[in-house]
Every structure is written in structure tokens, then in C-alpha cells.
Amino acid sequence: MALDFSLTDEQKQLQQLARRFAREQVAPVAAENDEKARVPWELVEQLYEIGLLNISVPEEAGGLGLGLVEEAIIGEELGWADMGFYTIPMASELGITPLLIAANDEQKKRFLKPLTERPSLASFALSEPGNGSDAAALRTRAVRDGDEYVITGTKMWISNGKEADFNVVFATFDPALRHKGVIAIVVENDREGVSFNKIHGKMGQRAAPTYEIIYDDVRVPLENRLGEEGAGFKIAMLTLDKTRIPVAAGSVGVARRALEESAKYSLEREAFGKPIADLQAIQFKLANMKIGLETARIYTYYAAWLADRGDPAHISASAVAKAYASEIAFEAANEAIQVLGGYGYVNDFPVEKLLRDVKLNQIYEGTNEIQRVIIARDILKALR
């Protein structure tokens, strides 16, 4: 009888709040923000007001100290309304997580507390122009100079980036050491030598800001380093093992939206004298979306539950959830376009945006190919 899939009363209330906020505030402006590639700061402020921003900040730093199950609940609802918008709070959690893993109490107070005192974001800077998933090959340098590091290099595809208070930057103090030469260090965006280029022309998720960040001899005190010198790579991996789960949750939201829009349209649209919902060809598409949605949702929550329990099985589970949910969501969005036909292909209806948005879920926070490497490693590890 130990299996229990129910949410607590508070989690149900959270779900209702997030769903209502998504429906009333986010969904109505999603198309406009997408078209104008506009960052909806007012929605970030509202998220802060209702307490749905940066929810993992621990209680000792003034936050709620909530876990990935709660984040997944929020992710599904906001992903349903606008995956692009959800990437903003999601990427902030990505920036917070390294501090949850490795920051000392003083660092938590210094960096995380302000995130609870006003609408503000964190950000995570790992990828570079020449390397994404091969995190051990990063080129950004951190040269020790007395009680400071001097950071030089370029970070790429950074969600939030300039909009955040700080970036957790991964840099190497000795490239020859590969992953053992990496540090994780908090670099505030107002330090001298930090500059940003906004990345334009994104296919989807256009409400979410994405930056290239250039660090040019940026001096950062030692006390901004998270964990030991050389622990940076480990911190990055431990972070992504958790934060893949919100990507999966956002994907579940996209898949749910695709199914809802398809089902609704199929009942309204008539062909050959009856609603197209009566056609088996359409019914199969709806059923397939449902199969993907339900399995992805339950597995995403399972992965979140494992992570919140501190069970190491979450490493593989989060990779499975992320790869699977983003793929079924992509497929659902693709099929939704097919169900809506010509209407699915134009931006008067919300489904083509689902496809453009969710494509990124197969790429960021570790491509789905990398997720499979993680999964395979886990399978083989037990046998070797």
C-alpha cells in the first residue's frame, strides 16, 4: 500500500492557483509576447506577488524551501499557458539550484535572500559558443589573483542572463585538468567587465530572454565561489540532474494544451457532415496524445518525488522524464497542427506556437541525446 500518487491539500491549492494564474494572466498575452519577442516583466512581478517565483529558496534565506514536486506543478500550468514565459522562472530555479547544492550559509543569505525580497531572477551560465553539452571542455577562464578570480570568456544561450541579478558562471582555472579544473562562481551582473548581447531570431520561446554574456577580465572575490576549487563540474551536473525535471513538467503542460486544443477543435470543425472528432483518424491522434501526456506526467512527478527524497535514482529518472516528456510534447504539438489543418499552421490559433516553443525543450538543459547518454550510463553502470 505504499504507492500513493495523490497531491497534498496544499499542493492541490498550489495547482489551482497556478492554473488560474496561467489561464487568467499568462495565456491571454502569450501570443502577443511571442510575436513581439517581449519579456513580460509584469508577469514576473505578479508571479513574485503570489509567491510562485524562486520557490526553492530555503527558509533560512527567507524563502519557502519547496521542492521539485511543487516546481513541477507550477511548470505544467505555466507551460500550458506559455512555455516561453515559463522558461523565465524555470531558468531562475536553474540559477538557484547550484547554491542549494554548494553554497555556504553566508552565500545563501547574500545571494538568495534578495531573490525573495523583490521580483528578481537568478541565471545559470554554463554553455559557451564552442561547447554546450560537453561541459568539461569549457573555455571560460578563472585566473586566481590574490583573493579574487579574474573571469574571462563568453557564455552562450543563457536564459535570463542580463535580466537576472547574477549568473552562476562555470569557468576553468586549469583547462588541462578538464572537469576537475572547473569552479562554479556567482558573478553579479553589475560587475565591471560584464556585457550582454541579446540573442534574436529565436524560432520559439520568444517571451524568454536569451543572452550571450561576455566576461572581460571580471574581478570576482573568492567568497563568491561555490564549494571547493575544482568542484564546479560536479555542481553543474548535480544541478542539471534536478532541473531537467521542470523542463519535463513544462513539456507536460505543452502536451496537455495540444490535446485540449485538438479535442476542442475536433468537436467544432465539421467535415462530411459531422464533427471531425467522429473520424477514427482524429480519434487515434487524440488517444495517442493522451497516452503520451499521461505517461509523461506521471513519470515527471515520479522523478520529482525521487529528487525531493534525495534518492539518487532521480539522476536517471530526470533524464528519462526530460527526454520523454519533451518528445511526446513535440509529437502532440505536431499532431495538433495536423488536426487543425490550415488553422494549425497560422498564428491565429495557439498550436503552431506550441511546436515552436517545445522544440527547445528537446535541446536545452542537456539535449535529448545527452539525456540518453546519462540513461545508458546508468543502465551499464550496474552491470560493469
Partner 1 sequence: MKYVAIIRQVPDGESKIKVDGGKVSLEGATLILDQMDEYAVEQIIRLKEAAGGEAVVVAFGPERTEEAMRTALAMGADRGVLITAEGYVDPITQAAALAKVLAEEAPDVVFSGGQQADWDSQALGPAVAEALGWPSVTWTTAFELDGASAKATHDLDEGAEVVKVALPAIFTAQQGLNEPRYPTLPGIMKAKKKEIKKIDAAELGVSASKVEILEQQIMELERQGKIIDGSKEPAAAAAELIRLLHEEAKVL
What residue ranges bind partner 1 (CB under 8 A)?
9-10, 12-14, 16-17, 20-21, 23, 49-52, 55, 64, 66
Q: Nearer Cβ to partner 1, position 23 or 38? A: 23
**And the C-alpha cell for 325?**
516528456
- What's the min distance (Å) between Cβ of 262 and partner 1? 17
Cβ atoms of residues 277 and 264 within 8 Å: no
Q: Nearer Cβ to partner 1, position 304 or 337? A: 304
Cell numbers 498564428 label which residue? 347
User: For residue 8, what is the DSSP state?
Assistant: P
What's the CA gap between 119 and 37, in Å, rounded?
20
Alpha-carbon dihedral of residues 261, 318, 210, 74, nearest 10 degrees?
50
Angle ∠(115,110,102) on CA atoms, nearest 5: 95
> Of the listed 10, 77, 365, 369, which one is catalytic?
365
Amino acid, single-letter form, for residue 254:
V
What's the CA gap between 38 and 32, in Å, rounded?
8
- Dihedral over Cα of 156, 366, 326, 247: its sign: negative
Q: Nearer Cβ to partner 1, position 14 or 277? A: 14
Q: Nearer Cβ to partner 1, position 14 or 30? A: 14
Q: Helix or strand or coil: residue 278?
A: helix
- What's the min distance (Å) between Cβ of 337 and partner 1? 25
Which of 48, 14, 34, 37 minimizes the C-alpha distance to 82? 34
Q: Nearer Cβ to partner 1, position 15 or 152? A: 15
Which of 211, 205, 336 minimizes the C-alpha distance to 261? 336
What's the CA gap between 249 and 314, in Å, rounded?
15
What's the CA gap between 126 and 186, in Å, rounded?
12
Cβ atoms of residues 182 and 236 within 8 Å: yes
Active site residue 365: yes
- What's the min distance (Å) between Cβ of 12 and partner 1? 7
Which of 152, 271, 161 minimizes the C-alpha distance to 220? 152
- What's the min distance (Å) between Cβ of 125 and partner 1? 28
- What's the min distance (Å) between Cβ of 16 and partner 1? 7
- What's the min distance (Å) between Cβ of 7 and partner 1? 12
- What's the min distance (Å) between Cβ of 51 and partner 1? 3
Cβ atoms of residues 213 and 195 within 8 Å: yes
Q: Nearer Cβ to partner 1, position 8 or 347? A: 8
Q: Nearer Cβ to partner 1, position 17 or 31? A: 17
Angle ∠(70,72,77) on CA atoms, nearest 5: 105
What's the CA gap between 41 and 255, in Å, rounded?
25
Active site residues: 365
